[in-house]
Amino acid sequence: MTELRYLAPGTLDEAVGAFAAAGSAARILAGGTDLLVQMRSGILKPGVIVDIKKIPEMTAIEETADGGFRIGAAVSGMALAEHKNFGKVWPGVLEAVNLIGSKQVQGRASAGGNLCNGSPAGDSVPAMVAAGAIVTVQGPDGRREMKVEDVPAGPGRTNFKPGEILVSFTLPPRPPGSSDAYLRMIPRTEMDIAVVGCGVSLTMKDGTVTSARVGLGAVAPTVLLVEDAAKALIGSRLDDAALAKAASACSAACRPIDDKRGTIAYRTKVAGVLLKRTAAIAAKRATGK
Amino acid sequence: MNLVTNNKWIGQRTIRPDGMDKVTGRAQFAADTTMPGMIWGKILRSPHPHARIRSIDTSKAEKLPGVKAVVTSKDIVDFPIEKGAVMLGIQDMRWMCRNVMARDKALFPGHPVAAVAATTEAIAAEACNLIEIDYEVLPWSIEIDDAIKSDAPVLHEFNKFDGKPSNIVGRLEHKKGDIAEGFKKADIVIERTFTTRPVHQGYIEPHACLISVAPDGKTTIWSSSQGQFMVRAMTSMLSGIPQSDIRAIPAEIGGGFGGKTIVYLEPLATLLAKKSGRPVKMVMTREEVMRATGPTSGSKSTVKIGATRDGKIVAAHGTFYLQAGAFPGSPIRGAAGCSFTPYDIPNLLSEGYDVCSNRSKVAAYRAPGAPIGAYAVECVMDEVAERLKMDPLDFRLKNAAKQGTKAAHGPVFPRIGYIETVEAAKASPHYAAPLGDGHGKLRGRGVASGFWFNAGGESSAQVNITEDGNVVVTTGHPDIGGSRAGIANICAELLGIDYRRVSVIIGDTQTVGFSNLTGGSRVLFASSMVVTQSTEKIIQTLRERAAKIWEIDPEAVKWENGAAHPVSPNAGQFEPLTLEQLAEKAPAMGGPIGAGVQLNTQGADGGFGTHICDVEVDVDLGIARVIRYTAVQDVGRAIHPGYVEGQLQGGVAQGIGWALNEEYIYTKEGKVDNPGFLDYRMPVCSDLPMIDCIMVEIPNPKHPQGVKGVGEVPLVPVMAAVANAIYNALGKRFYALPMSPPKVLEKLESADAAGCGVEA
Amino acid sequence: MAKVHVTTTINGEPMEFLCEPDDTMLDALRGPLSLTGSKEGCASGDCGACSITLDDRLVCSCLMLAVESEGHEIRTIEGLAQGDRLHPLQQKFLEMAALQCGICTSGMLVASDALLKKNPDPTEEEVRFWLAGNLCRCTGYDKIVRAVMETAAEMRAQ
């Protein structure tokens, strides 16, 4: 039997050192809500676990000087919800992070873990993509930044280099008239993995969309940034024609599979339905109506 | 029998005797105990749906440090197929011995092929991986249509149907009148075919046991089950240890719903304990529970109902194919026997076919088979009522079975309460309420009825008066729904004392007389009979002792409010003698006071229910949600209304899950693809509304307190009620379960209006 | 594997135990700590029967390593009653028949307590969504939701 070592370093440098040294046998532990399930079911037998929750930067939520937010990779959904300002500025990101699992899971699970798990169905990822989040990663070669949509490489895989650890998400400052929303389709009301997830971020001026980003989850091997859907929304007053065009763009972007959670036909149709509904919520929030 | 009237405790929502332990975390369930020197058992399971086992080499596993014992099928008592059935209850031990451990063939993925006991769980698991098995992989089938094809791979070659080896391993029919003649009289005939998927009982507590076998063979089993006597008998038969040497102690049981009426682990843990000389603990993972225990059958049913224009059913024909899984024994009796029973139908043929295929052997699930049959029949009833332009409840009333109706499965009904359930549903606030605005979602309402046989059978009880004048009742049935609370109410009522003075416990196999399974909705019915008779014997003793003290005739003493009194002033002027006083005097008056009764109880009448369901459908996403639900049931007598309602509400919740989302999904390789609570989608709290209950009380005249079984009926009507409500919302009928979002959306986008049914 | 020594606080008491590095908190509670009130229904965070609080935050003990409890405060069902005085939720569950088999009850109570600490006046919908991570197969949730709502009302009135 392989010996498992548990490490809980207090600094990022120590964590990066330990993680890189252990190579492919190492796993990062944030909330653990995916890692422990994989270990218990026998899918994964790590040799080293690096718990990053004792590193202050990993669990901090900061409002940046320009009015954006920096969220540590190990911040739990529940902690994010308790922040006094975050949910006002990024209600869509917050609702997405807090759709990950039950209340019990929300007390532990983080947006960082959700992204690094590499599931195309992770709830927070489409919302982060729509939000235009930038991630900071640190590895043996130092720090770098990536667009959040560039992180997933395929189911269970990321584009991080060996030894790199996700440190934080940076969300940009919001111009006036901006908001976001996230909706997912699940068979039950809770506790399911998204069959389709859709995040929309909008900025509106006098009823017209001036900028938009759309993220779609669970419809392709990775979460998608759907630029054609955003284009259809930008410049519109979210009239039926614009929404229909954006919905079609979402459906067209889908490259889903048939599995135990949904069919290709179902996912393709629902992607468009969710786009319309999510955009409506985001617009309502953005215009304060 | 006279019913007790002016009750003090019967009908009260008392606090259950086992409640305190359960709200404080003290209650001991199957996996909660340890023994000194205990080691851990693990099972190696077949990865194949169907494979001949050419050889098993356990030598490497046995050599692994920490491994204390390995068992395979050769350690288990064989019940040869050719020697014929050896029945224990409804289980044939020929199949049980092969289900707990594959013999010549592995018949489903998850079928045990060997078991190991080692000092830690991790070593036991590692040892399982060292066992080498040479499999000859065979073709397999899982779905009914595949399994009954003429060229299907046959699981049990000895079995013949129509003279050929076949996976159809059983057939039964119930017949009344002549359906050919009956259908000729019909103005309207509707015939539809329905399918349902296998669903699991879904108890939250995985199977677990802890077993010690002493060098002299004396065996102690600690496990949770729906019958410690079943555990003892099956373990005895499969291990060769006599029943007198096996003490099966019932742990608290974390849900069963029928799924714990057979053994999986106990024979294996017993043999491992015997071989190793150490107590062995085995606990299933959730994945093992999903792959290798339960579930109930998937099904394919065709139901044809003919009625005259004035709404009288003149003929009906049902054909129910049920998946048995790896071994014969699907609940065709429940499907064929129960589904038409609410109705007085002059010409009826109801047939059941038992079909084996390469998935886990079915276990009982709440009114086994009946919900499957009722789903088909009650959906066709709805369609016939619609065609007749009749209210669906009026249509049921017009054809309702009542006292004197002969049911196709045999009995002529005594006083039954079916009509009352339909009338109560009609009169309910729910049925009168408008559906309300769905705000863009479509709403609909459906109704359905259901029947379940209910069982009597063997029960034993011992009631003892303690030295301080309180009461201990011991019965032999594991309590899964609050039966101890009901027993406490009844015993306290009879003795006229506070219910808190009655302690009710479940005895182990060596301390209480034989008691059959907790199943068939029989526990409170049967155990309250033996407890009542035991308590009556005690009251007789108490009267005799008071009479002796007062030196009057025992007939001149009555028992009232927990004390002996002279029946009248004529009998003499005496201060009452309380239970405490008589207990104190017991040593000088002939000794301890107690009585036990053992009976094969009779007179369990069947139960009927009628349900109303409102749904709301998001037509763009295909999501149907139940937004209001009312369950009406003839409950006989609600001894503890809180736990009677609990049975109704729990059954409804399971039915909603079965209707909307629960199903076994298989991979192309024939393995269960959703063996966990994440993707086997049972209803969560936010999925359900409050579930209203209307308890119609038509006391069972053959029971001292009027009790009827209540636990199983509430699952029977649910799927049809939900399906009929979805039809009412959407105008499209569904003929398959579950009505999950992709299927609902697909149906909404399809052109056909009526569905796949064939109309005559 | 070499066992790890962990020092933590459980139900207000300082506690030490030894565990394997890959043991879950649930393994430690049910094993060396002999606190079997927390149940294992799934080991994947889908049933909530193992619910505990970690520094007052509701978590599944099956989704947490035992070593992670070092220096933190754990509360389990065994710590809900104060001596022989039941928590109002426990009392209400008994009175309102909000349990049948009892296997989910520990987790339901721990989760409900966490809800009422955060939100003393929850709506039915809030109760239902908060408890969505606690599976119950016996009751249909009706009496559980009612018991939580009624307890909340009584606690507010005090």
Among C109, C128, C140, the residue with its CB nearest the CB of B649 is: C140
User: Distances in Å between the alpha carbon of B372 and those of B203, B380, B428, B610?
Assistant: 20, 13, 26, 16
Q: Is the backbone of residue B240 left (phi > 0), alpha (psi -120 to 50) or beta?
A: left
What's the CATH fold of domain B33-138+205-254+260-292?
Aldehyde Oxidoreductase; domain 3 (3.90.1170)
Cα distance between residue A174 and residue B672, in whole Å: 47
Specify the DSSP class assigned to residue B666: B
**Torsion angles phi and psi, residue B745, rounded to 5:** -65, -40
What gap in Å lies between CA B545 and CA A35, rounded to an integer?
69
With CB atoms and an 8 Å threshold, state whether A32 touches C46.
no
Model confidence band, residue A3 (pLDDT cutoffs 50, 70, 90)? confident
**B187 is written with which tokens?**
């103005």
Structure tokens at B275: 């071989």
pLDDT of residue B6: 78
Q: Average the pLDDT over A209-234 and give the result.
A: 98
CB C134 within 8 Å of CB C60: no
Report d(CA C85, CA C87) in Å as an integer. Answer: 7
Report d(CA B165, CA B172) in Å as an integer. Answer: 19
Pairing status of strand B208-213 against strand B219-223? antiparallel
In order of their start, the domains of chain C are 4-79 (3.10.20.30), 88-157 (1.10.150.120)
A192 vs B741: CB contact, 8 Å cut-off? no
Task: ipTM value, please give it.
Answer: 0.98
Which of B13, B289, B479, B686 to mutate to probe the C interface, most C CBs <10 Å? Answer: B686
Q: Which two tokens stand for residue A32?
A: 């653990």
The predicted-structure confidence for A75-84, as pLDDT tens digits, reads as follows 999 999 999 9
* C-beta of residue C17 within 8 angstroms of C-beta of residue C70: no
- Pairwise CB contact (< 8 Å): C48 & A78: no
Contact check, Cβ <8 Å, A104/C111 = yes
Six token digits for residue B64: 């692994």
**Whole-number pLDDT of residue A64:** 94
Instruction: Tell me whether residues B681 and A188 touch, CB distance under 8 A.
Output: yes
Q: What is the DSSP letter of A259?
A: B
- Closest CB to C139 among B253, B254, B649: B649
Amino acid letter, residue B173: E
Which chains have 3 or more CB–CB distances shorter than 8 Å to chain A? B, C
pLDDT at residue number B756: 42
Mutation test of the interface with chain A: which of C60, C110, C116, C127, choosing the one with the most A Cβ atoms within 10 A? C60
Choose among B537, B538, B513: nearest CA to B526. B513
Report the pLDDT value the prediction gives residue B751, as an integer from 0 to 100. Answer: 73
Respond yes or no on whether the N-terminal peptide bond of residue B109 is cis (omega within 30° of 0).
no
Alpha-carbon span A193 to A198, nearest angstrom: 13
Q: Kindly state whether A261 is in contact with chain B, defined as any CB-CB distance less than 8 angstroms.
A: yes
Distance (Å) from the C-alpha of residue A261 to the closest C-alpha of chain B?
A: 8
Phi then psi dihedrals of residue B297, to 5 deg = -65, 145
Burial A146-171 (b: 16+ CB within 10 A, else e): bebbebbeeeeebebeebbbbbbbbb
Q: What is the pLDDT of residue C69?
A: 98
Contact partners for chain B, using 3 or more CB pairs closer than 8 A, are A, C
Residues 718-757 of B with CB under 8 A from A: 740-742, 745-746, 749
**Residue whose C-alpha is closest to residue A90's, from A68, A114, A59:** A68
B66 touches chain A (CB under 8 A): no
- In three-state form (DSSP H/G/I as H, E/B as E, the rest C), the secondary structure along B386-435 is HHCCCCHHHHHHHCECCCCCECCCCCECCCCCHHHHHHHHHCCHHHHCCC
For residue C36, what are the contacts with CB-CB under 8 A and spacing of at least 6? B25, B28, B29, B31, B32, C29, C30
- Domain B19-27+455-601, classified CATH 3.40.630.30, yes or no: no
Closest CA to A225 of A242, A209, A237, A213: A213
SS3 at position B448? strand
Q: Is B377 exposed, middle or buried (0-12, 13-18, 19+ CB in 10 A)?
A: buried
Burial class (CB within 10 angstroms; exposed 0-12, middle 13-18, buried 19+) of C2? exposed
Hey, is C141 helix, strand or coil?
coil
Parts of chain B belonging to CATH 3.90.1170.50? 33-138+205-254+260-292
Given a cut of 60, whether residue C82 has pLDDT beyond it is yes
pLDDT of residue B605: 86
Q: How many Cβ atoms from other residues are within 10 Å of residue A191's Cβ?
A: 26
The domain limits of chain A are 1-51, 178-287
Question: Nearest 5°: phi and psi at A38?
Answer: -65, -40
Residue pairs spanning A and B at CB distance below 8 A: 57
Q: What is the pLDDT of residue B752?
A: 59
pLDDT in tens, A132-190: 999 999 999 999 999 999 999 999 999 999 999 999 999 999 999 999 999 999 999 99
Vertex B297: Cα angle to B294 and B303 (nearest 5): 160
pLDDT at B434: 98
Class of domain B299-454+605-755: alpha beta
Rounded Cα gap, residues B307 and B389, in angstroms = 12
Question: Which residues lie below 8 Å from residue A203, measured CB to CB, with a gap of 6+?
Answer: A174, A175, A177, A178, A209, A210, A211, A212, A286
* B121 lies within 8 A of chain A by CB: no
- Angle at alpha carbon of residue C38, lines to C32 and C41, rounded to 5°: 115
Helix, strand, or coil (residue C59): strand
How far apart are alpha carbons B321 and C62 in whole angstroms? Answer: 41
State residue C1's pLDDT score.
57
Give the span between the Cα atoms of B41 and B117, in whole angstroms: 4
Q: Which residue has the tokens 């969505």?
A: C132
Whether C109 and B23 have beta carbons less than 8 Å apart is answered as yes
Q: Parallel, antiparallel, or unpaired: how do β-strands B67-71 and B442-452 relate?
A: unpaired
pLDDT tens column, B31-54: 999 999 999 999 999 999 999 999
The tokens for B752 are 């056909």
Candidate from A8, A37, A103 with C-beta closest to C44 = A37
| Amino acid present at A222 | T
| Size of chain A in residues | 289
Cβ atoms A80, A61 nearer than 8 A: yes
Contact: B678, C46; criterion CB under 8 Å: yes
Q: Identify all chain B residues contacting C127, using CB atoms and an 8 Å cutoff.
A: 685
Chain length of chain C: 158
| Top CATH class, A1-51 | alpha beta
| Residue B248 token pair | 């099966």
Is the model's pLDDT at C12 over the cut of 50? yes
Low-confidence stretches of chain B (pLDDT beneath 70):
1-5, 752-760
Task: Give pLDDT, residue C154.
Answer: 98
**Tell me, what's the pLDDT at B5?**
60
| Contact indicator for A180, A282 with CB cutoff of 8 Å | yes
pTM, two decimal places:
0.98
Rounded CA gap, A57 and C71, in Å?
Answer: 20
Q: Does any CB of chain A come closer than 8 Å to the CB of residue B456?
A: no
DSSP per residue, A136-202 = EEEETTEEEEEEGGGSEEETTEE-PPTT-EEEEEEE----TTEEEEEEEE-SSSSS---SEEEEEEE
> Looking at the domain A178-287, which fold is it?
Enolase-like; domain 1 (3.30.390)
Contact criterion met (CB < 8 Å) for C140 and B684: no
Q: Is the Cβ–Cβ distance between B142 and B109 less than 8 Å?
A: no
Q: How far is B365 from chain C (nearest CA, A)?
A: 13
Residue pointed to by tokens 């009850």: C105
Instruction: Give the pLDDT of residue C2.
Output: 84
Q: Is C133 helix (H, G, I), strand (E, B) or coil?
A: helix
B492 alpha carbon, distance to own chain's centre: 28
Is B109:B67 a contact under the CB 8 Å cutoff? no
The 10s digit of each residue's pLDDT in B582-611 is 999 999 999 999 999 999 999 998 999 999
HSE toward the beta carbon, residue B126, CA cutoff 13 A: 13
CB–CB of C135/B204 below 8 Å? yes
CB B300 within 8 A of CB B193: yes
Residue-by-residue DSSP string for A59-99: G-EEE-TTS-EEEETT-BHHHHHHSTTHHHH-HHHHHHHTT
